[in-house]
Amino acid sequence: MENNLLPATLDKRETVHHAIWDDAPWNDEVSVPLHPKPFIEANTLTVDIEHLQHDCIIPVFSKDNERTISHPEFVEAAVQAAETLFGKENVSVPELRVSHTIKGRTPDAIHKPAAELLETEKTLYYERMAFAFEIPLIQETVGGNLLTLTAGGVRCYNHENLFGKKSLEHFKVFIGFKNMVCCNMCVSTDGFTEELSAASTSELMAKILLLFQGYSPELHLSRMQALTNFSITESQFAQILGKCRLHQHLPKQEKNQIPVLHFTDTQIHAVAKEYFSNENFGSYLDGSISLWNMYNLLTGANKGSYIDQFLTRSLNAFELTCGVADALHNPDSPYRWFIS
C-alpha cells in the first residue's frame, strides 16, 4: 500500500533511519543478541496467529450473544496500521505470547469425564494475549545497545464484562523501542495508551494509527540517550531500591504525594540481584551505575510481569528513571523522595 500519510512525520523518521543506517548495525561497539529472547516471560506461552485463528473460540457477550473482537483481529489491526504508516515491507511478523487458558467443551460432550474427551470436543481460548512486532526501518544506538522501533499491544478478556451486552472493548497499545541485546521494551508516554476503546476492528485500526502518528521516536530516543549521561553511586542505588520497597507501605496521604510505583517487591529484588550479576547492565567496578543501565534492570525485571501489567510497568520504569535523573539536580522534583 502506498503511504501518503503525514509526509512531514515520515520525512523525520526517514532522517533517523538514514542517519544510523551507515554505522549502527555494523559497528563493532554495538551489542546485538546471538539468540532472540522473548519480550515477556512470566507464565506466558508462545503461539502463532494461525493457532489463534483456527484452534481457539471467540468469546461473546452473553446477554446478546454478540462476538468480541478476537485476538487475531487485534493483531491484524495493529499490523495494518503500521503497514499504512511505514510500508508493508518494513513490518516484521508479530511475536505472540498468551496466558490464562480458558478450557471448555462442545455441548455434545457435556457429560463426558475430562479424561475421555476427544480433541474435537475440546474448546479453548486465552484470557490474555500480548504481541509485538518490529519496524527495522528505524534503528538507533543508545549506550552501545542497538534499539529497533517496535509496536504491539495487550488484550485481556478479564477486563471486559462478558456477562452483559456488547459494549466498547478495551485494548492496550504501544509503539516504542526494543533493546536488541535483551529484548526489553522501552515505552514512553506518547507511545502508549492504557485504555484504547473500540467497537469494531475498523475503529480499532483507526485509533491505533492515530497513536502511531502521534508518537515521536526522536524525542523518545533523545530522552533515553540522556540517561547514559547520568551515573549514581552504589549508596544512591541502594537508597532508590530501599525507597521502592517502602513505597507500597506508605500511609495513603503521604503516598498520594509521591509518584506512582507499579513494581513489586519481587521485581525490585530482581533488580538488586542483577546489579551485581548482569553482564550488560550491572554496576561498574567502582560500584556506580548509569541510569541507562538502571533503566534496563527495571525493564528486565518487568519481563516477569503478568500480561495485564506488562505495558503499565514498562512505562513506569521509564518515568521512574527519568524522574531520578531530574531529581539529581532539581531539589523540587517530585522524585526527590526516592533519592533523599
Contact 28, 118 (CB under 8 A): no
Per domain, the residue ranges of the chain are 7-216, 228-338
Q: Which residue has the cell 457429560?
A: 111
pLDDT-derived band at 32 (thresholds 50, 70, 90) equals very low
CA-nearest of 47, 20, 27, 30 to 136 is: 20
Q: What is the pLDDT of residues 35-82, one digit of tens each?
A: 468 999 988 999 999 999 999 999 999 999 999 999 999 999 999 999
| pLDDT > 70: percent of the chain | 89
| pLDDT > 90: percent of the chain | 86
Q: Which residue has the cell 538507533?
A: 140
Q: Is the dihedral of CA 299, 301, 303, 309 positive or negative?
A: negative
What is the amino acid identity at position 127? E
Task: Give the separation between CA 223 and CA 59, rounded to whole angstroms.
Answer: 41
The yes-or-no verdict on residue 156 having pLDDT over 70 is: yes
Q: Reduced to 3 states, what is the DSSP secondary structure of residue 155? A: strand
Q: pTM for the full model? A: 0.87
Q: What is the pLDDT of residues 94-145, one digit of tens each?
A: 999 999 999 999 989 989 999 999 999 999 999 999 999 999 999 999 999 9
CA-nearest of 88, 58, 60, 61 to 76 is: 88
Q: Phi then psi for 313, rounded to 5 degrees?
A: -75, -30
Mean pLDDT taken over the chain: 90
In this prediction, residue 160 carries a pLDDT of 94
**Longest CA–CA separation in the chain, Å:** 69
Q: What is the pLDDT of residues 221-276, one digit of tens each?
A: 999 999 999 999 999 999 999 999 999 999 999 999 999 999 999 999 999 999 99
* Residue 272, all three cell numbers: 538488586
